[in-house]
Amino acid sequence: MDPLTIDTTKIKMTKKQPVTALDKLNDTGLISTVLAAREREGLILFSTIDQVFNWARLSSLWPVTSGLACCAIEMMATAMAHHDVARFGMEIFRASPRQADLMFVAGTVTKRMAPRVKKLYEMMPDPKWVISVGSCANTGGPYHESYSVLKGVDMIIPVDVYIPGCPPRPEAWIYGIIQLREKIKNQGYGAKWGLNK
């Protein structure tokens, strides 16, 4: 067909529906009890406080800036533009534990560092989560039989997610972050009583 002789009147223009914030919420599946607000002629949605809080918490996890060894290099790679941890609302690595609610234990926890790591954890306000990253922080790793290395950071602080690897690649980090988000999603009495989705 000669492109110059196209009859433009025969082309149908389909108008795309604008995506509202409500649609986005519905797509995430987090707020399962979103009722058809458009039919109610207003943005009314029902949910449990738990769900809203959990959604808010998992959507803006702020990690504390602390790296102990080579895993911290992978942490930086995870935070940089290529893997872009900002997609999870956690690009802001806080320089103070008082503003953070997530701690990556990224690297070897030596006996001398252990009280400092514990102190950092204790300085973080509740609610707070810990991801233990790499063989060293999980179990001591290659230094398991060393005199100077703690055999797992869970000896001193509670750990929510363990990421294996030496060091784990950024993909593994992101998988671990997604696991933590799943965990936060199911926190609270709402999930226990079956009120959440």
Partner 1 sequence: MNPAEEIKQLFPDSVVSVGHQTNKPLAIIKKEGLLKIAEKVKEMGFDNLSVITGIDYGDRFEVVYNFLSYTKKQNLVLKVVLGHENPEVDSLASVWKVADWLERETYDLVGIKFRGHPNLKRILLPDGWIGHPLRKDYDMSVDQFVTVGEDGEDIVSTDGSNLLRR
Residues of the shown chain interacting with partner 1 in the complex, contacts defined by CB under 8 A: 111-112, 114-116, 118-119, 145, 147-148, 154-158
Q: How far is the CB of 190 from partner 1 (least distance, A)?
A: 28
Cβ atoms 99, 62 nearer than 8 A:
yes
Q: Residue 96 carries which DSSP code?
A: S
Question: Taking the CB of residue 172, how many other CB atoms lie within 10 A of it?
Answer: 17
Name the nearest CA neighbour of 163 among 132, 186, 195, 190. 132
Q: How far is the CB of 115 from partner 1 (least distance, A)?
A: 5
Q: How far is the CB of 156 from partner 1 (least distance, A)?
A: 6
Residue 182's H or E segment, with its range, is helix 170-185
Nearer to partner 1, 29 or 142 (CB): 142
DSSP per residue over 50-83, as a string? HHHHHHHHHHS--BB----STHHHHHHHHHSTTT
Nearer to partner 1, 6 or 155 (CB): 155
Nearer to partner 1, 72 or 113 (CB): 113
Which residues, in sequence order, are bridge partners of residue 104?
Answer: 131
One-letter identity of residue 132: S
Nearer to partner 1, 107 or 170 (CB): 107
Nearer to partner 1, 20 or 148 (CB): 148
Question: Taking the CB of residue 177, how many other CB atoms lie within 10 A of it?
Answer: 23
Tokens for 138? Answer: 């999980």
Question: What is the number of residues in the chain?
Answer: 197
Nearer to partner 1, 91 or 154 (CB): 154
Q: How far is the CB of 112 from partner 1 (least distance, A)?
A: 5
Q: Residue 98 carries which DSSP code?
A: G
Cβ atoms 107, 70 nearer than 8 A:
yes
Q: How far is the CB of 145 from partner 1 (least distance, A)?
A: 8
Q: How far is the CB of 99 from partner 1 (least distance, A)?
A: 22
